[in-house]
Structure 1
């Protein structure tokens, strides 16, 4: 079965939705720090020194809720949390 051809209105809506999700001062720099693979919270914070811990935490939660990143928690001692880009972003 063929996929329905997208109209220009549909394409514009998809672009607008994408821009809305990644808009803001910090989301794109955060995503760029994860481009090379698994990244820890502190690694992101070191890569973007001007971001506060609170803002970074909020932005990571937003990116995770929009399924742009994947948060993995390892039950080691101490607990290890890694962030990776979702497969959707990596393939694009």
Structure 2
């Protein structure tokens, strides 16, 4: 069982479940996590076997992944020669993803 309250983080945001499958125990996270939400970046909680006094501490650190496609906005018209020399251009783009649109 997962001991509540959690040491760090919200049980409701994580919705962890412990399941026994074919004699092996697994921890499942049932809520989608989003790195851009600060309260979803770190979790620490204790897990124990019912009627036992000892518990194991579990720490989760959510890493930022490219979970959304980039959104690229061209702010002004811009041309770059296809076979031109490498150089800086005056092109300006705004790039974000769905979380930061």
* TM-score interval, smaller chain: under 0.3
Q: TM-score, normalised by structure 2?
A: 0.22
Work out which structure has the larger RCO, using CA pairs closer than 8 Å and 6 or more positions apart in sequence.
1
User: Which of structures 1 and 2 has the bigger CA Rg?
Assistant: 2
Q: TM-score, normalised by structure 1?
A: 0.23
More strand by share: 2
